[in-house]
């Protein structure tokens, strides 16, 4: 497929990529009866799935701010960050929405982010400890 648009190439905006990625994953992996949770979340939200994803993705910048110093260090850690932090953060948002009919406050989100990140990186073996003895 070729584009007839002659404008210079612009990278996909991160905000769009996040929403598209979520939809792509949802489309690939979610089927009924698992899909029932999505239905309950969207019904509880009442503003549409795109709006929910845009609002939920607002926690990604605070998450990045919490972990970026770890990415800058040469330390190694066990686990997959997305499975052990990002997905549980999503479950936290969804559970809160279902229980309280709203997403958690930014302060509540920040507390959950800090806890998940601390747990993830505290489980990492110290590079010095694995190199000695």
* pLDDT at residue number 28: 62
pLDDT at 23: 73
For residues 110-128, average pLDDT:
80
Most confident of 4-8, 26-30, 44-48, 108-112: 108-112
Summarize pLDDT for 102-114 with one digit per residue, the tens: 999 999 999 999 9
Q: Find out whether 110 and 62 touch, Cβ atoms under 8 Å.
A: yes
The pLDDT value recorded for residue 131 is: 36
Q: In the chain, where does DSSP find H-type helix?
A: 14-29, 35-45, 49-56, 60-72, 81, 87-100, 106-122, 127-131
Average pLDDT over residues 77-86: 82
Confidence band, pLDDT 50/70/90 cuts, at residue 124: low
Residues 6+ apart with CB under 8 A from 68: none
What is the residue extent of each domain of the chain?
Answer: 14-124
């Amino acid at each position: 497929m070729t584009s007839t648009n002659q404008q210079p190439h612009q990278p996909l905006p991160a905000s769009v990529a996040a929403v598209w990625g979520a939809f792509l994953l949802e489309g690939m992996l979610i089927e009924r009866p698992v899909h029932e949770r999505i239905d309950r979340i969207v019904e509880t939200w009442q503003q549409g799935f795109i709006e929910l994803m845009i609002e939920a993705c607002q926690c990604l910048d605070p998450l990045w701010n919490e972990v970026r110093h770890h990415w800058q260090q040469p330390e190694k850690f066990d686990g997959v960050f997305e499975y052990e932090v990002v997905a549980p953060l999503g479950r936290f948002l969804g559970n809160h929405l279902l229980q309280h009919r709203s997403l958690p406050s930014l302060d509540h989100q920040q507390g959950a982010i800090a806890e998940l990140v601390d747990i993830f990186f505290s489980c990492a073996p110290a590079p010095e400890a694995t190199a000695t003895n």
